[in-house]
Amino acid sequence: MKYRSEITGVGSYVPPKVFTNFDLEKILDTTDEWIQQRTGIIERHWVDDETSNSDLGLEASLLAIKNAGLDKKDIDMIIYATLSPDHEFPGTGCFLQAKLGLHEIAVLDIRQQCTGFIYALSIADKFILSGSHKNILIVGSEIHSKGLDKTPRGRNVSVLFGDGAGAVVVSRKELLDSKKDSRVIATQLFADGAFAKELWIEAPGVACGNDRISKEMLDEGLQYPQMNGKTVFVHATKRMAECLGSVCQEANVNLADVDLFLFHQANLRINSKVAEMLSIPEEKIFNTIQNYGNTTAATIPLGMDDAIKAGVLKKGMLVASAAFGSGFTWGSAVFRY
């Protein structure tokens, strides 16, 4: 018997508190006009209490499992993508596993930042096709707000990020018709660590010298994300366009055949530029960055859930996704939903 990996359930969750650009004007020495022109972001959701990353992941997971028509006990693996873990160790997937009441199943945490969901989907697909697992829960979840420099010093980065979680269940099914079956058709993954310091958090870390963390590091703000925006923009547009074309070629589909594009939501200008480079009609791209900001590993499953709720994404549609992020990492996927 030949298997296929089908996305059978999708769920998402964002904290209820909304922070608009006008809210940020009061603390970051910025303006709504500046933020919208450069990013496309209008508002984002930030936690304002003791909510943890795995709390957000739990809410999204329960919805994805329910929408898949499964019971929690049917899940036999969790792949958790995040760069904002509950704790340095163990991985946040273990905390989610305990909250779900699932004992002994495999849990895998991955740190591929904005490309985390694409990496996780590719990993899940290969476990499913091997026949070793039946229902894999993928979670992309972030709480950025607790780790941002909310002073004018950090405004160029802090306006970009939001909190939220998205989850999907990938299930093993029998492959009957390779052209019509809902399935993951192709994924491609890439990285180039030569650019790791163009978008990173320097401290704390064991590579920082004799101390993982020191008062001097904190005073310098090394615990906050730093980004070379121009370099990221150039590489993001180039790499996303490249891997989209490449994965479609591997999947033996034309870009024109794709019904919907679900891009990582880092910057509206990046997505528009990729669309221009590949002659993709804007109406085929479903963007959510205006409402959520960049939720890193959560953006694609969060956007998928919104697209389903809006009636834009329907069963049987051909979907292409691409993401680019810190590392540098990037990747793409083609699947029939």
Please state the φ and ψ torsions of residue 184, each to the nearest 5 degrees: -75, 120
Residue 220 tokens read as: 């310098």
pLDDT tens track, the chain, 337 positions: 899 999 999 999 999 999 999 999 999 989 999 999 999 999 999 998 899 999 999 999 999 999 999 999 999 999 999 999 999 999 999 999 999 999 999 999 999 999 999 999 999 999 999 999 999 999 999 999 999 999 999 989 999 999 999 999 999 999 999 999 999 999 999 999 999 999 999 999 999 999 999 999 999 999 999 999 999 999 999 999 999 999 999 999 999 999 999 999 999 999 999 999 999 999 999 999 999 999 999 999 999 999 999 999 999 999 999 999 999 999 999 999 9
Residue carrying structure tokens 């969790």: 78
pTM of the model: 0.97
Which CATH number is 183-336's, of 3.40.50.300, 3.40.50.720, 3.30.420.40, 3.40.47.10?
3.40.47.10
CA atoms within 13 A on the CB side of 240: 33
Residues designated catalytic? 114, 264, 294
The pLDDT tens digits for 111-149 are 999 999 999 999 999 999 999 999 999 999 999 999 999
Residue 162's Cβ-count burial label (10 Å; 0-12, 13-18, 19+) is: buried
Give ranges for CATH 3.40.47.10 in the chain. Answer: 3-174, 183-336
Q: Which helix (H) or strand (E) holds 126?
A: helix 116-130
Positive or negative CA dihedral for 183, 332, 128, 307? negative
CA distance 169 to 305: 12
Element containing residue 188 per DSSP (H, E) = strand 183-191
Name the token pair of 249.
């070629």
Contact by Cβ (8 Å): 260, 198: no
* Residues 3-174, CATH architecture: 3-Layer(aba) Sandwich (3.40)
Span 225-242, pLDDT tens digits: 999 999 999 999 999 999
Task: Copy the structure tokens of residue 222.
Answer: 């090394």
Question: For residue 196, what pLDDT is reported?
Answer: 98
Contacts within 8 Å (CB) and 24+ apart, 283-286: 284/258, 284/259, 284/260, 285/260, 285/261, 286/260, 286/261, 286/262, 286/312, 286/313
Q: In whole angstroms, give the CA distance from residue 173 to residue 5.
A: 6
The distance from CA 44 to its chain's CA centroid, rounded to whole angstroms, is 15
Rounded to an integer, what distance in angstroms lies between the CA atom of residue 75 and that of residue 149?
38
